[in-house]
Amino acid sequence: MKKVKYIALVLVIMLAMVGGAYAAWTDTVVVDGRASTGNMKVVFTEADLSAGGTYEVIDNAYVTDGGQKLVVRMSKLYPRNDFLEDAEDEDYAYIWFQFKNVGTVPVVFDSATAVAAAGNQFPNINRLKFGDPSFTATLGEIPGALSVWSDAQGPILPGEDKRIKLHVWLDKDAPNSYQNLTAAFEVKVNWKQANMQ
Amino acid sequence: MPPAAINEKRDTLKQIRFIAVIIIVAFGLIGVVYAAWVDQVVVAGNVRTADFNVRITGATCPNAGKSGDNFDLTYISGGGEVLESGKRARLWVDNIYPSPRVSHQNWQLYIKNESDIPVVLDSSSLDAYSGSNEVWNYLWGEIHLRIYDEKGITAANQIGSTVNSGSFIFKDGIDLKSEAVMDGIILYPGYTARYSILFWLHPDATEGQNEKIDFTLTYNWKQWNMP
């Protein structure tokens, strides 16, 4: 009889403890989250050549590699003074190209390569000179010139496009051996997020 | 028995009956009089239990589309909405890209104790997360907690104006950090906990463009006085 009473007492205590745990009320709230990343892409969209004055250049300029590379071939160039020395003179070849930020992130110029391309006949491609009212550069100096240009422009926003037009000529000191030659070069530009400068 | 004796007994029974009727009537009258003197006080036994209700009252992405400290983050969009009477919320952000911490975005989550009793955070968990590993591995965050009293004034008595977690990788820490910043903090009836969930895609993320991640964050609350 005593045992029965003892077991009953234990059962009562256990049930009371179960009741106590159950009595701890709870509530739950749930949050569903989603984060999507953007993308960064800038492409050359157009490129062309033209000539002014007595110039009659020329050859062609085109965009390749899905918009990542600009290739230019130029003929019939001849030596002349640097652009800054006679800026009013229109006897120049012109190259212009356009690129567009087709991504979702603002970008700025990061770096570039400008080198001789297949079909180039110039012994020294840096006899080719470029300029606009603010600078004069050889092909090898084009990346630096683009950097200066980018700093002045600021970020290129998503959907925005930019057009650059450069005067092109043959260095005034180019020797006779540059006659009847074709210059070919290619330009690649690397961009970076505008907020990571 | 002689007839005289029978008649005497009959009379005696009549008397007893009469007395009995008189006594009944008398007691009846006494009862009426007694009933006129008593009054009754009724105690209505109505015990109402407390309510336990923790609810999300706000979910936003307040800085999306606004300028950050060092660059225009206009192109990031985001938001939030409260669902299911405050038992669920949805937070989202689109077009995030690598940035330093200073250019972080943040979600704000307002969780209010609408109970009659104080509550504490029992546990939280990050569940059902999916999507790009590259994003998960580089999505960093911090949690900043602020408590408002029932009048909407910062309740500084428990934690000062805010308590902040350190920086952590989202998938490793958002649930644990949620618990850490709420550790020991009692949310009294009418009080609101504002979780600011800061986040940014770490600059070391070189991949992960055009990706998305999904996750579910669960907050479990309990009575403040239970272990």
* Contact at CB, A33 and B214, closer than 8 angstroms: yes
For residues A146 and A142, what is the distance between their CA atoms, to the nearest angstrom?
Answer: 6
Q: Tokens 């059902």 map to which residue?
A: B128
Q: Would you place residue B3 in the very low, low, confident or very high pLDDT band (cuts 50, 70, 90)?
A: low
CA distance B121 to chain A (A): 10
* Contact at CB, B53 and A27, closer than 8 angstroms: yes
Predicted local distance difference test score (pLDDT) of residue A20: 44
Predicted local distance difference test score (pLDDT) of residue B99: 84
* Contact at CB, B95 and A33, closer than 8 angstroms: no
Predicted local distance difference test score (pLDDT) of residue A14: 54
For residues A161 and A143, what is the distance between their CA atoms, to the nearest angstrom?
Answer: 19
DSSP B135-203: HHHHEEEEEEEEEE-TTS-B-HHHHSS-EE---EEHHHHHHHHHHHHHTT--B-TT-EEEEEEEEEE-T
Give B122-176 pLDDT, tens digit per residue.
989 888 778 888 888 999 999 999 999 888 887 766 666 788 888 999 888 888 8
* Contact at CB, B218 and A194, closer than 8 angstroms: no
| Chain B residue closest in CA terms to A22 | B226
Q: Looking at the complex, does the CB of residue B143 fall below 8 Å from at least one CB of chain A? A: no
B-chain CB neighbours of A36 within 8 Å are 92-96, 211-212
Q: Tokens 């009793």 map to which residue?
A: B117
Query: B126, B116, B124: which is closest to B145 by C-alpha?
Result: B124
- The three-point CA angle B5-B10-B16 to 5° equals 130
* Domain residue extents for chain A: 42-196
ipTM surpassing 0.95, yes or no? no
Query: A157, A152, A173, A175: which is closest to A82 by C-alpha?
Result: A173
Give B57-115 pLDDT, tens digit per residue.
999 998 777 665 545 567 888 999 999 999 999 999 999 888 888 778 889 999 999 99
Mean pLDDT in residue range B46-65 = 82
Q: How far apart are the first and last CA of chain B?
A: 93
* Contact at CB, A30 and B219, closer than 8 angstroms: yes
Record the tokens describing residue A124, joined without a space. 């020294």
Sheet of A69-74, strands arranged across: A60-64, A69-74, A183-193, A107-116
CA distance B24 to chain A (A): 53
Predicted local distance difference test score (pLDDT) of residue A127: 92
Predicted local distance difference test score (pLDDT) of residue B73: 66
* pLDDT reading at B33 higher than 50: no
* pLDDT reading at B117 higher than 70: yes
Q: Tokens 């330093």 map to which residue?
A: B100
Give A26-61 pLDDT, tens digit per residue.
889 999 999 999 999 999 998 888 887 777 767 888
Q: Sort residue A140 into left (φ over 0), alpha (ψ -120 to 50) or beta.
A: alpha
User: Which of A36, A41, A101 is the best residue to mutate to test the B interface, defined by the most B CB atoms within 10 Å of its own CB?
Assistant: A36
A-chain CB neighbours of B52 within 8 Å are 25-27
Q: Which value, to the nearest 10 degrees, does the dihedral of the CA atoms of residues B104, B71, B73, A105 take?
A: -110
Q: Looking at the complex, does the CB of residue B215 fall below 8 Å from at least one CB of chain A? A: yes
| Chain A residue closest in CA terms to B90 | A32
CA distance A31 to chain B (A): 5
Q: Which residues of chain A have pLDDT under 50?
A: 15-22
More confident residue, B205 or B1: B205
Query: A195, A187, A44, A196: which is closest to A111 by C-alpha?
Result: A187
Q: Tokens 């006897």 map to which residue?
A: A91
* pLDDT reading at B56 higher than 50: yes
Predicted local distance difference test score (pLDDT) of residue A197: 67
* H-assigned helices in B38-139: 133-138
Residue B85 has φ and ψ, to the nearest 5°, of 55, 35
3-state helix/strand/coil string of A75-110: CCCCECCCHHHCCCCCCCEEEEEEEEECCCCCEEEE
